[in-house]
Amino acid sequence: MPDRIAIVTDSTADLPADLAAQLGITVVPFGLRFGHELLRDGVDLTTDDLMARIQETGRTPATSSPAPSTLTAVFGQLAQDHDGILAVFMSSRLSSIVKAARIAASHVQETFAAPPPIEIVDSLNVSLGLGLQVMRAAALVRAGLPLAAIAEQLRAEVPANHLVFFLEELDLQRRRGRVGKGPEVVGNVLQLKPVLRLDEGQVIPHERARTRARALDMLVEFAGSLPAIDEIAIIYDTTPEDVESLRQRLVAATPDATLDIVQVGPALAAHLGPGVVGLAIREHLAG
């Protein structure tokens, strides 16, 4: 019998709640703070709730990653009835959660009499770029691989996972320090739609489009540039009307890939602003 391995991720993985429950994945929520009110990402409000609240108040919430104490409690609870814990989290270049998880794992190892091993994997990704890695972890657990081998496999496969997306405006990202000022200035002056991607865990410019239609074209072109795709997911926050036409184009461009559609969760939507559309892609894995 394979070891009973618990899988943990954070809410920025944008995994639908029913899928996470089906796969037995523990999701630790980020926080969103409106003044003195702290809400849990995906638990206390949805993305639609968030956007309605921003529209009504004109205020964008601050977000916070789970603290080491929160992760210690999660790991400690799972340690009671699992033989190992695999935690796959948002990129360490975008959040402090990987650092917090390592602190929490150390604390559990020091305080439990016979603690199970805990592996922390830095996805170097976010949204479904992280979510696809978590789903891959669940598949490897079901296949009966031991914990250390699963963690090693996930780290080796990080470069096969891609996230590319475009924003209606780059100013919110610039003010939050996610991208440099240069692309934002050019985008504002020429009224371009910035197309961004994750590279080694950080957001970098990919292309610039003059129209939303051209930005959608660029997403399809990016998918078509990859030699073979196992999984592809469309992510969006406030424009479901873009999704169906994009889905049809991707089915034609990548007929062998599994395709899903997922709404970006509140924590990421608070950073990205309305109108986001993107693709999370996992290239074909040999074997």
CATH number, domain 160-283, options 3.30.499.10, 3.40.50.300, 3.40.50.2300, 3.30.1180.10? 3.30.1180.10
CATH 3.30.1180.10 location in the chain: 160-283
| CATH level 3 topology of 5-158 | Rossmann fold (3.40.50)
DSSP letters, 26-71, are EEEPPEEEETTEEEEBTTTB-HHHHHHHHHHH--PPEEEPPPHHHH
Question: How much is the pLDDT for 173?
Answer: 45
- Write b or e for each residue in 126-148: b if 16 or more Cβ atoms lie within 10 A of its Cβ, otherwise e: bbbbbbbbbbbbbebbeeebbbe
Distance CA 196, CA 126 (A): 13
Averages of pLDDT over runs of 10 residues in the chain (287 residues) are: 80 96 97 94 95 91 96 96 97 98 97 92 98 97 97 97 88 46 43 88 92 95 94 95 92 91 96 95 83
Question: How much is the pLDDT for 193?
Answer: 83
CATH 3.40.50.10170 location in the chain: 5-158
pTM of the predicted protein model: 0.91
Residues pairing with 64 in the sheet: 31
